[in-house]
């Protein structure tokens, strides 16, 4: 974000605050038991997950919700006609996880959730 703030084209872009994805939106793709297990794990302080080859901590679940929510916010704003294009530079990336477990550094999948979101059909 520092690089964006210093870019010559900074005045040509609008930075939008993303919302958190709702657990129900995450459950469009992921098993709700997995979603709840990740929340509980992070609420308890986290752990090292061999599937991710990474640690999750107390901030990991909210970060994952914001990461997915960033894509949803962007899609909603584009579908509403507020923007024609956009870019959501988020972490964790969300492309390795599977239905009921994390993989790589990914907790939740973004693109499949966006594709199944009711916002897409508007």
Residue 107 lies in a domain: yes
Is-above-0.75 flag for pTM?
A: yes
Q: What is the pLDDT of residue 91?
A: 74
CB 32 within 8 A of CB 25: no
Retrieve residue 10's tokens.
């900074």
Cα–Cα distances (Å) from 65 to 8, 28, 81, 85, in that order, read 31, 13, 24, 22
Banded pLDDT at 20 (limits 50, 70, 90): very high
CA pair distance 3, 98, nearest whole angstrom: 32
Q: Is 79 helix (H, G, I), strand (E, B) or coil?
A: helix
Banded pLDDT at 119 (limits 50, 70, 90): low
For residue 68, the enclosing domain spans: 18-121
Model confidence at 78: pLDDT above 60? yes
The domain total for the chain is 1
Q: What is the pLDDT of residue 33?
A: 94
From start to end of 21-113, where are the E strands? 47-49, 54-56
């Amino acid at each position: 974000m520092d690089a964006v703030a210093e870019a010559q084209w900074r005045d040509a872009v609008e930075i939008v605050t993303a919302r958190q994805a709702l657990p129900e939106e995450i459950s469009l793709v992921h098993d709700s038991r997995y979603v709840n297990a990740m929340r509980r794990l992070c609420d308890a302080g986290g752990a090292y997950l061999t599937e991710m080859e990474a640690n999750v901590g107390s901030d990991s679940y909210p970060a994952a919700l914001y990461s997915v929510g960033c894509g949803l916010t962007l899609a909603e704003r584009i579908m509403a006609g507020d923007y024609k294009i956009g870019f959501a530079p988020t972490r964790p990336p969300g492309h390795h996880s599977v239905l009921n477990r994390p993989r790589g550094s990914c907790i939740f999948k973004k693109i499949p959730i966006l594709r199944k979101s009711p916002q897409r059909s508007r």
